[in-house]
Chain A
């Protein structure tokens, strides 16, 4: 099968060769940085180059970056998570109350908010949204949102007041109302079947922009809503957005996105690899690399596979992995080395760097103790079996194949073989659910609430360790009751300080068990022209263009 990513990389190289020849012809110098005291100018079209076309725009599917980049402009959320402080601030909800055990949430809805089709965004509309996100809708095939745990039902108290009930404590819910997957859409949108929601023009939100038109898979135009007056309450900028229009253009090829940006054909691009950053910065353009504040880019083990069932083997491989080398060889300063399973900027983070040291001697000793002896071929063996593991590369993660290959080289030094495999999505999905075929796997997820750890490890959520009872039917017996109990507690502990203590305990536990080898904190990398001002990002790295304006080009 044609591998678009590999091809792109080769293409980039080819251009590099071609580009050197042409460098003499390029006369455009570095753009000048503008002062910060300028007054925002209104108007203009922002040209945004996106790597992939959006898929289904049902808001809970907003985690996919191309989707989030659109939904974040056209939908509002009940609450706003301040990306700096991570505090939850009013937005569509003016205020809220939560009962002591976090099973009842009451929100007061701001007056005068409308969806772009004119329908009012009132308590009933909010209730309809959360009933759908919290319980799904089987007839319309709308799935449940992963950020809402233990949802029971809603109650519309009056036009501006809505109350949600939960079956069990759900302390992560308040933050859950601020995330990209909780964008509020018109009841008309929610009356459509899942299959119809890939058409952006059907997604009616109340956000500062609305979808004007779309050429499927190629181009999407958003228009400003002139009557927008309900931005997050604590933002300095209120009223309509500065831009008139945003044009999303799908440009899959890395070098074309970067070239178009530098040639002045585009204003901002998403997804720029670490090795391209310098080229862009040298031209005076800006790199934005907001953290995704969630579970770090890691390598996880599937202990159901007997080869990695022994904690000593997993620990040995943890100490044989040199994250510093990976970060300095493949990435840039925008990709900080991981010091826990979640990012430094994630809530509930504890520094575990002392447990994550690179120590090749310790690794060798642990493997010796576990009975894996070096054979004549340089490989570790036990009872005639060779310690040989496999992992499938994950296409959405930056330079994942290269990362895994470097890890394979590092493990080679202690006599362990790691095969890095590539497959079409179908085979990769199926094989990655089989601990026998994928004893090792890359993993990451972004969300600024400790709930994210549960999302990642819990068997009925993403189940990265492949425990029994989750989505893999090939799993024989592996279950870690203690881990699951901790995760349950994390998702349902109403007391904030106790909850953070649980978060710390989970991080320690996962690292002590060496279930995961954290590598780096994953950012979302964007590049923008210097005249694009006021680009901001929500807490986990989706761009928001509400504040964005275009200064005169120089």
Chain B
């Protein structure tokens, strides 16, 4: 077991290093850089010599290897540098933007699970074929709903027309209601789809027929035999969907004017604020690694067969 865990941690470090290096290379390859974008901005009206001075003071024109090593050492010591665009330490930006994103994506993900399970259950229990077909087509509708449209529509209805939740100056929970709803809809779609397909698939397995033959009711079979087996692939997809959450958060945050990593990423990409982007890439890679590790460790709980195999490996 310990060798397994050490191996996983080693992998994680490797993934983080690769993410750091690749993003560093890609960001350097882009035309222009943050200093150019910030200081060539006509609002400042700086001359070429002044810009050259600023570039020297930031070490922007030193060799790539030097910059790479410098940045890497700084990261290892927890110094993420300064955002050239915002004029604050990157650490401050992450601290200001990470918690709202975590809340938004965690709640969004939980709500999407609720949606997905509800839809799957309704479809599995529905007595009519036409109703089943209808419910099974809902995920397609959900996934093709543009997030920004949905967000704005929800704001228009619930905040501006019905005046149920304020968008400006909301309380901490009020602030999350509409964005979480907006984010959950598209995320729930693939989850619901996978869950439904797996339920259908598992229902055709021989052990279900055996259970039925022993006199188990449809409901009993669904809850006791099918659900557990159908949830595994959903879990895998759930881990992967974390990336979607971050992407969906860009739009949700823009529409609702929320602080968050999504919006920060979008702004930083646009301004080529490399220090911020590097930090975000490393943080996101870390989050992915942790989530996927958690998913791997959760498997055996749902499927005892995996527990045995893992025991052998360790």
Contacts and interface: CB of A to CB of B under 8 A. Distances in A.
A462 B155 CA distance: 41
Interface in B32-88: 32-33, 36-51, 53-54, 57-58, 82-88
A144 interface: yes
A425 B272 contact: yes
B206 interface: no
Given A15-B156, A26-B161, A461-B47, 6 more contacts: A56-B85, A144-B50, A195-B83, A217-B86, A247-B169, A426-B272
A513 interface: no
A471 B47 contact: yes
A32 interface: no
Interface stretch (B10-18, B136-144, B258-266): B258-266
Interface in B97-129: 97
B57 A460 contact: no
A383 B250 CA distance: 49
A169 interface: no
A426 B161 contact: no
Contact of A263 (B36, B82, B163): B163
A521 to B, nearest CB: 18
A430 B32 contact: yes
Interface stretch (A123-131, A235-243, A249-257): A249-257
A458 to B, nearest CB: 9
A112 interface: no
Contacts of B37: 425-426, 429
Interface of B: 30-33, 36-51, 53-54, 57-58, 82-89, 92-93, 96-97, 146, 148-149, 152-153, 155-157, 159-163, 166-169, 250-251, 254-259, 263-264, 266, 269-272
Nearest to B86: A198
Contacts of B157: 18, 22
Contacts of A22: 156-157, 161
Interface in A194-227: 194-199, 215-218
A198 B89 CA distance: 9
Contact of B42 (A2, A197, A247, A445): A445
Interface residues of A, number: 71
B53 A198 contact: no
Nearest to A217: B259
Contacts of B54: 141, 143
Contact of A15 (B36, B41, B86, B152): B152
A432 to B, nearest CB: 9
Given A61-B44, A259-B159, A471-B48, A215 B270 contact: no
B251 A7 contact: yes
A209 to B, nearest CB: 18
B44 to A, nearest CB: 6
Nearest to B85: A55
A370 B224 CA distance: 85
A100 interface: no
A413 interface: no
B31 A427 contact: yes
Nearest to B47: A460
Contacts of A251: 167-168, 257
Nearest to B83: A198
24 contacts: A2-B250, A2-B251, A4-B254, A11-B152, A15-B156, A18-B152, A22-B156, A22-B157, A53-B86, A55-B38, A55-B86, A63-B45, A64-B43, A146-B45, A195-B82, A216-B88, A217-B93, A218-B259, A263-B163, A425-B270, A426-B33, A429-B32, A461-B45, A470-B47
A18 B156 contact: yes
Contacts of B32: 425-427, 429-430
A217 B270 contact: no
Nearest to A49: B168
Nearest to A469: B48
> Could you say which of B58, B149, B157, B271 has the most chain A C-beta atoms within 10 Å of its C-beta?
B149
A216 B153 contact: no
Contact of B48 (A143, A195, A429, A470): A470
Interface string A7-40: 1101100110011001001100000000000000
A222 B266 CA distance: 28
A7 B152 CA distance: 12
A263 B270 contact: no
A424 B271 CA distance: 8
Nearest to B97: A217
A143 B97 contact: no
A83 interface: no
> Could you say which of B93, B163, B169, B269 has the most chain A C-beta atoms within 10 Å of its C-beta?
B169
A534 interface: no
Interface string A61-82: 1011000000000000000000
A462 B42 contact: yes
A216 B259 contact: yes
Nearest to B263: A217
B87 A198 contact: yes
A2 B50 CA distance: 32
Interface string A248-276: 01111101100110110110000000000
Contacts of B97: 216-217
A138 interface: yes
A145 to B, nearest CB: 9
Given A216-B92, A462-B45, A25 B161 contact: yes
Closest 6 CB pairs of A and B: A198-B87, A146-B45, A426-B32, A56-B87, A63-B43, A460-B47
Given A195-B82, A216-B92, A14 B149 contact: yes
Given A215-B259, A216-B259, A194 B87 contact: yes
Contacts of B31: 426-427, 430-431
A315 B293 CA distance: 66
A260 B168 contact: yes
